[in-house]
Amino acid sequence: MVKTHSKSFFGQNTGLIINSSSNSEPFFFIRCIKKKHDGNWEKPSRGEGKVIKCSLEEIVMMLEVLNRSCANWSSYHSFKDNQTQIVFEWEDEKARTLWIKIDKYSKMLNYAQAEILRRLLTHFLEEKIVHATVSSIDTVKNNSGKNNSFDKLSRDVNKDTTFDKNDAPPEKERINASLDQKVRDFTKEKANVNGSIQGETKKALLIQFTSGDELWIPKSTIHGKYLPKKNKDQKFLIDDWILKKNQIIS
């Protein structure tokens, strides 16, 4: 089984390059380039185009769309205080034409191309689940045939861990605080409410509820799937504290 993969999808003006350099890395890259006004393509070697690093969790959500379990998925990718929007969505209910939008780049995939991408990402997920989630303890045992000392294990973990030069090393207090926040987020009470989208910004949706009230709802408080279409009646799963605060529910 090969460890590296690369697949290109080119149209007349926009190209996507899907790349995984190792099955032991829990991520892959999507690079976007487009044709410039002079007719030449952007050159990644010159820093042109856009590249994003996608996690295992993002692969799962992309496959939700590619497997037609939902009509669309969107997220904001953060890197060094810059946020890039990623959108995967089917053009219509027939789900034969897929649009991938990353920042200012937009690429359409036909049915065959979307199916190739679906199978490729499925393969990525399967092989990375196997090879990229091996613990350092298992690696040490396999290499030595026995348990090594804690000091050696610590050295191996530190050696295998890389950080961006602008990032501070993770500290125990910060990690614990982050985990505590995630627990609080998951245990918040939520409510299913009917409404329709009337407007959208980068961080919020303007929703008109069945009561006739309109309210800007932060996307961070909206959970589950919704169609990013205006004036379409649908259900939203929203943290109930913001609904109660604005008297949408009692």
Q: Domains in the chain, please, with CATH?
A: 5-131 (2.30.31.10), 187-245 (2.40.50)
- Which residue has 């219509």 as its token pair? 92
The answer to whether the CB of 192 falls within 8 A of the CB of 221 is no
Q: What is the pLDDT of residues 10-22, one digit of tens each?
A: 988 999 999 999 9
The answer to whether the CB of 24 falls within 8 A of the CB of 130 is no
Structure token digits, residue 190: 């939520």
Question: 142 versus 29: which is more confidently predicted?
Answer: 29
The answer to whether the CB of 86 falls within 8 A of the CB of 72 is no
> Is residue 115 very low, low, confident or very high in pLDDT (cuts 50, 70, 90)?
very high
- What pTM does this model have? 0.56
Average pLDDT of the residues of the chain: 82
Q: What is the pLDDT of residues 161-203, one digit of tens each?
A: 444 444 444 554 555 555 555 545 544 588 889 999 999 888 8
CA separation, residue 170 to residues 134, 135, 173, 177, 182 (Å) = 21, 18, 9, 11, 16
Task: Tell which residue, 177, 164, 188, has the closest CA to residue 81.
Answer: 164
